[in-house]
Structure 1
Amino acid sequence: MITTPSLTGRRAIGTDAGKPSARPPFLLCRNDHRILGHGRSHTFGTAGDAADALRRETVPALVGAIPFDVRDPAALWAPDRLEVSPGPWQPAGEAALPRVRVQAHEPAPTEHRRRVAAAVTALRDLDVDLSKVVLARRLSLRADTPLCPWALGAALRAGDPAGSVYVVDLSAAGDTGTLVGASPEILVRKRGRHVSAHPLAGSAPRHPDPAEDAQRGAALARSAKDLREHAYVVTAIADALAPLCRRLQVPPEPELTTTPAMWHLGSPIHGELADPGVTALDLALAVHPTPAICGTPTLAARDHILAAEGPRGFYAGAVGWARTGPDGGSGEWLVTIRSARVDPDGLGAQTWAGGGIVADSDPDAEVAETSAKLATVLRALGLSAGAAG
């Protein structure tokens, strides 16, 4: 186990202040290691302020969450202690999950279909500067008794032991909720000079029959629509990282990757930084938001999303950690998908799913894709995939 020493002598602030046995405000669990951020010594109002402090080594480490729209408040802070341990998180003694029901579809599947159709019309208009946009829908959930975010994290971990689970207290952003999820997508990872990313774009639902499942994966791998959608993402990330790297390796074509619920097209990207002092948070902000969760061109897609959906908060943002060090430091950030925000009383929660829309997207297929993606959180809560609508 590696720990970063206390950043200041001040008492930690936040929900765990003065409660040694309380849960830490930050957990990120990968299949081979886990990160815990204990306490808070300093919080930052924006991702830019946090990145500046880390780059100048005003603080040795940062953890938290970046919102979809980086103009919104971030939930980023310097922990009193950053714990980096080998091996996955092994949940123990978590509370039982309460009965949960879907309270509202925001929007209803029929309205989401209409939004997708309107986006396709815009994408086909040669006078509109938009090539791809990612549209999402949200479910509002209601629990009979308080839902513990850590219990939901444990259920997500049980559903996909190879996945990446996170539990993040959002109070540093003035949000009283907790962000919980199981992301399959690495936005960016840094180890000294080495940087990597593994964008996912282009998806298909899994099927319980192995033969049908394999056919779906094979169809995804040769889908012209999905390959084009994926190429937008890879090009954008490569263009963002190239000026920071002296070497960058981008695969010529994507590979298939899976979660228990979905097939995805993925492209592992690797590079060597020209300046090892560029932090993992700098790298995350250089590539976020990618066309995988926003669209392209970025600003036009973002404006379309905000007009159609309203603010997303931390959905389709990033969660992660970064620290400095003599070798240039390290860190990793995951895309905030397959996630839920749990209300402070535990009785309410919200979960989202989206899909990339291009000119030849099928609105009915896009609705089905969001339903399949929503199944990750719904099944963890004991609901059927059909509850997504």
Structure 2
Amino acid sequence: MPTAPEVATHIPLADPAYPSVGAATALLDAYTPGARFLATPTRTLLAHGVHAEVPHGEGPLSQRVAGALDAARDRGVPTPVVVGATPFDPHAPAALVVADDVRTGPPLTADPLIALPAETPSAVDWRIRPVPAPEAYGAGVAAAVERMWRGEFSKVVLARTLELQAPGPLDIPSMLQRLARRDPSGYTFALPTGPGRTLLGASPELLVARRGRRLTANPLAGSTPRSADLAEDVRRAAALLESAKDMHEHAVVVDAVHQALAPYCTTLDVPARPTLIRTATMWHLSTTVTGELSEPEVSALELASALHPTPAVCGTPTDTARQVIRETEPFDRGFFTGMVGWGDADGNGEWVVTIRCAEAEDQSLRLYAGAGVVAASEPDAETAETGAKFRTFLNAVGAEL
């Protein structure tokens, strides 16, 4: 049986008998900083240029996006697409544009060339500073748990960051290659969020997708790090399915998704028990929710905005959890735990929870990771979980804690 390099050598990329060979990875290879790249289980998308920016304003984001798409279509753009990122704070400006040029291809998993390994990260003398320090993060978890036992709230997601400084310019395309090839079945993205700033990452979590009147959501909550030892990895996966703490945390999120989507649907299927999904570094409890929209004009972004933020990235009750986050986290989340995705003028689209990500600017990277804190949480375990989640990006840049 030929190896992957032999397939790449002997089958022409344009051969109509093998339409997916090279189609997705060509878009990945064509990415340059300033472009907008998004790979999902349904497509690979590369966008260049800005036809129009979605304006910041007081009205609902979904209405402003719909207005920008309709205006583009009126100006002769036949199939306008909006792509970009929204922040954790829904009142902060988003980074969404109607692109000038959008190229799409099949998903990365449909392209055999995605199996070819990315280049090993170049040796870089990274300077790493945790914000907050691990012991301070643990103290924040302990304080939140104490307040939960007093009955103030039931869950909060607390995050921490790593600030990485390189001695020279960052190679963002190489980072994107490693993220995409390590977890090609997930959601990989590289999107500008401001002058000289790029948000990039590999999220495992679909917030919501809409195609026609069919919607899909895939909330994740409850996680455990993977192990390089196969037997231990299987043991950890089985233990996650039996963990009362993680199952409760997951059930809270699924119930919130159910309650938010039900008003939009004629039917909504919510499985009684979660399954497992895996990334290169983590196991997650996962539930796939599907439904049929009652009103065809409801867009994917309107559904996503109704869901955001779920208890998986904020907590519950939402307003109290937001306040605890503001009081505890010594940084602005920015686009972390916001949404990244695309949408068209017919309301179709995919919106993903912005996790396993970093923001790059000049010679610096800021990595983000969070953990769901409930009354049964232990500070050391939540600190270790965030450390494991950092591995997705640390592996992509060749750095270690």
Q: TM-score, length-normalised on structure 2?
A: 0.84
How far apart, in 2, do the equivalents of 1:23 and 1:180 lie? 11
- Name the counterpart of 1:368: 384
Q: Is the 8 A contact 1:340 1:377 kept in 2?
A: yes
SS at match of 1:355: strand
Summarize the alignment of residues 149-168 of structure 1 with structure 2, pairs less than 5 Å apart: 149-168=172-191
Which structure dedicates a bigger proportion of its chain to helix? Answer: 2
Summarize the alignment of residues 105-184 of structure 1 with structure 2, pairs less than 5 Å apart: 105-126=130-151, 128=152, 130-171=153-194, 176-184=196-204
**Structure 1 residue runs of 4 or more that deviate by more than 6 Å after TM superposition:** 89-96
- 1:99 counterpart letter in structure 2: V
SS at match of 1:315: coil
- Relative to structure 1, is the Cα distance of residues 100 and 320 closer, same or farther in structure 2, using a 3 angstrom cutoff? farther
- Name the counterpart of 2:364: 348
C-alpha displacement of 1:162: 2.3
- Relative to structure 1, is the Cα distance of residues 213 and 96 closer, same or farther in structure 2, using a 3 angstrom cutoff? closer
How far apart, in 2, do the equivalents of 1:283 and 1:372 lie? 31
Q: Is the 8 A contact 1:102 1:141 kept in 2?
A: yes
Summarize the alignment of residues 61-72 of structure 1 with structure 2, pairs less than 5 Å apart: 61-72=81-92
- Name the counterpart of 1:4: none
How far apart, in 1, do the equivalents of 2:125 and 2:82 lie? 34
- 1:358 counterpart letter in structure 2: V
1:44 pairs with 45, 48, 54, which one? 54
- Relative to structure 1, is the Cα distance of residues 21 and 284 closer, same or farther in structure 2, using a 3 angstrom cutoff? closer
1:55 pairs with 41, 54, 66, which one? 66
- Relative to structure 1, is the Cα distance of residues 277 and 138 closer, same or farther in structure 2, using a 3 angstrom cutoff? same
Moved more, 143-152 or 296-305: 143-152
Summarize the alignment of residues 243-258 of structure 1 with structure 2, pairs less than 5 Å apart: 243-258=263-278
- Relative to structure 1, is the Cα distance of residues 69 and 381 closer, same or farther in structure 2, using a 3 angstrom cutoff? same
How far apart, in 2, do the equivalents of 1:100 and 1:250 lie? 48
Q: 1:280-308 CA distances to partner (integer Å, 9 max, x unpaired)?
A: 11111110111111111111111111121
C-alpha displacement of 1:50: 4.4
How far apart, in 2, do the equivalents of 1:73 and 1:45 lie? 8
- Relative to structure 1, is the Cα distance of residues 138 and 197 closer, same or farther in structure 2, using a 3 angstrom cutoff? same
C-alpha displacement of 1:38: 2.0
1:187 pairs with 207, 210, 215, which one? 207
Summarize the alignment of residues 73-112 of structure 1 with structure 2, pairs less than 5 Å apart: 73-88=93-108, 97=122, 99-112=124-137
C-alpha displacement of 1:71: 1.2
Give the unaligned 5+ runs of structure 1: 1-19
C-alpha displacement of 1:30: 2.3
- Relative to structure 1, is the Cα distance of residues 250 and 144 closer, same or farther in structure 2, using a 3 angstrom cutoff? same
How far apart, in 2, do the equivalents of 1:267 and 1:225 lie? 16
- Name the counterpart of 2:336: 315
* Sequence identity percentage: 44
2:40 pairs with 30, 38, 55, which one? 30
- Relative to structure 1, is the Cα distance of residues 154 and 219 closer, same or farther in structure 2, using a 3 angstrom cutoff? same
CA RMSD of aligned residues (A): 2.2
2:345 equivalent to 1:334: no
- Relative to structure 1, is the Cα distance of residues 123 and 72 closer, same or farther in structure 2, using a 3 angstrom cutoff? same
Summarize the alignment of residues 242-321 of structure 1 with structure 2, pairs less than 5 Å apart: 242-309=262-329, 310-321=331-342
- 1:195 counterpart letter in structure 2: L
How far apart, in 2, do the equivalents of 1:22 and 1:102 lie? 25
Q: Is the 8 A contact 1:182 1:337 kept in 2?
A: yes
2:255 equivalent to 1:235: yes
C-alpha displacement of 1:100: 4.8
Give the unaligned 5+ runs of structure 2: 1-29, 73-79
Q: Is the 8 A contact 2:54 2:64 kept in 1?
A: no
- 2:128 counterpart letter in structure 1: Q
- Name the counterpart of 2:16: none
Q: Is the 8 A contact 1:194 1:270 kept in 2?
A: yes
How far apart, in 2, do the equivalents of 1:176 and 1:316 lie? 21
- Relative to structure 1, is the Cα distance of residues 43 and 49 closer, same or farther in structure 2, using a 3 angstrom cutoff? farther
- 2:102 counterpart letter in structure 1: L
SS at match of 1:170: strand
- 1:53 counterpart letter in structure 2: R
How far apart, in 1, do the equivalents of 2:43 and 2:366 lie? 28
- 1:270 counterpart letter in structure 2: T
Summarize the alignment of residues 219-230 of structure 1 with structure 2, pairs less than 5 Å apart: 219-230=239-250
Kindly tell me the number of residue pairs found equivalent between the two proteins.
356
How far apart, in 2, do the equivalents of 1:184 and 1:132 lie? 21
Q: Is the 8 A contact 1:199 1:233 kept in 2?
A: yes
- 1:355 counterpart letter in structure 2: A
Q: TM-score, length-normalised on structure 1?
A: 0.86
C-alpha displacement of 1:66: 0.7
- Relative to structure 1, is the Cα distance of residues 115 and 45 closer, same or farther in structure 2, using a 3 angstrom cutoff? farther
C-alpha displacement of 1:148: 2.4
- Name the counterpart of 1:14: none
How far apart, in 1, do the equivalents of 2:120 and 2:50 lie? 25
- 1:55 counterpart letter in structure 2: A
- Relative to structure 1, is the Cα distance of residues 98 and 335 closer, same or farther in structure 2, using a 3 angstrom cutoff? farther
Q: Is the 8 A contact 1:98 1:143 kept in 2?
A: no
